[in-house]
Structure 1
Amino acid sequence: RIVGEGIAGFADVDRILREAAGFRMGPFELLDLTGLDVSHPVMKSIYDQYYQEPRFRPSPITRQRLAAGLLGRKSGRGFYVYRDGKAEVPAEDAPPPRTDVPVWVSRRNVEAATRVTALLESLGARLDRGDTPGAGSLCLVLPLGEDATTGALAEGLDPARTLALDPLALDGRRTLMRTPLTQREMRDAAWALFAADGTPVTVINDSPGFVVQRVLATIVNIGCDIAQQRVATAEDIDRAVTLGLGYPKGPLALGDALGARTVLAILDAIHDFYRDPRYRPSPWLVRRARLGVSLLTPEN
């Protein structure tokens, strides 16, 4: 869905989830490995068996590519093109030259603002520490589940000077999000600044939840729903995912690492924006977030 909405390219999604979230393989690399002739029918079967539950609705992209014979490695072309069994990965653009633009950081999320301000200081940024941004300052918002436009409007910021930074992914790879009106000069200034220490940066279009937030929150939510339906215990769900998919953590442990309330806030914001039941929070997640207990906590 992220690719279908024009938020980011498939190679960018894979890079972000590998380098910022610790995935062994990105989702499109995994689809190419398993083959769409296997993956799409499985997704459709799950969707049908759960009475068209929106969470499991397959993407039109996989159906279209399956029909075109773009199966993945086995056909020599899928989301990637393969030469001698090796994927040809699209090259990334180099960061633009750095400019000395003052940076104002939103304080709506105090914890995130503290971490990002410390990062900016280490990068040698010229900080605008005013209560409101100066006339020429780059405005940086740090949303959870929201898009850059919503973050800018919530604080009365100029969307032409505003970008969002994913506060959950500051190491490995950083993700910046522009509003539809963000000036190229501001985008380039932020891009160059956050790449100054050699950390790769991806700039995406406006999107509730970035890439890491949306994907991780959805994974946690589906894991919670499996536990809620008593398909398996929380421990067995995590064990199956770590062993079967090579994820760094199972979905319930991942939710605990992010914080159940954080995951719930991300899903609530995305669900509010799209009105899509795909992002409806699981009762398992909602209750444990409200109680302040681990997502691995079983029913008593």
Structure 2
Amino acid sequence: MLQVQNLTRRFGEKTAVDAVSFDVPSGQMTGFVGANGAGKTTTMRMIMGVLSASSGEVLLDGSPLTADARSSFGYMPEERGLYPKQPILDQLVYLGQLHRMSQSAARKGALDLLDRFGLAGRTKDKLESLSLGNQQRVQIAAALLHRPSVLILDEPFSGLDPVAVDSMVELLRERTAAGVPVLFSSHQLDLVDRLCDNMVVLQQGRVIASGTGDDLRARAVNRHRITVSPDAGWVRDEPGVRVLDVAGPTAILQFDDPAASQRLLAAALSRGSVEEFAPIRPSLSEIYREVTAA
């Protein structure tokens, strides 16, 4: 498990990251979300040791994170860090050797990853000759090549087409199945909702929400949908009911107390048929918007 404890970074009088704490459990994907400037990249750079922390620490399995432990991490920065004028395969092999892989193992691993990303025929091409999406594929391959013990990925899905996203998802799931903790930031909240076991929401350098999807949904505003016949307009007059939306036979509701929901259901049944009366399971995207608007 990777543990971030009270991590803080100041730039002069500005506090960019303010006592941030969260866990990245082994074998799970943790989504790191927040608006531009929230402090996600600064936090990731401190985890990797690229940027020193003003205070706080990062632990791996309960022990302070060392430079040697970090050398086994896979890191993908938001800004591409590869060599634009070097052939793709050559630089991946070089990077693999920096991670103590043999030349033959690095070459084999690089070829396998490039093949999975549809780049098997481009191994001798210079990076700058590729499209931005394909450059992103190579950057991902560089982060995964040495089979890292921890993955820290800053906007890994940016610029990828749906096929490449699926390939990336498959690779990440292979890594989590092997027990690797994965932390990735993304503005694509639908992907975070689809992939992540946990989510950490950062706003103005502080964690404002964190937990599993179920944890966050349990804290979300409890809303219900009711569909009746013929029209749901009468729900506006029911006591203890906040009507968020009404469209013909369907209404979205919020109750002041559990008894109000039962009173409303009884009233609906007395008026006619009830086709649906169920809680609404919010997406992580909706939860994110809710907590950042608070």
TM class by shorter chain equals under 0.3
What TM-score does the superposition give when structure 1 sets the normalisation length?
0.23
Larger of the two Rg values belongs to structure: 2
What TM-score does the superposition give when structure 2 sets the normalisation length?
0.24
Larger RCO of the pair (alpha carbons < 8 Å, separation 6+): 2
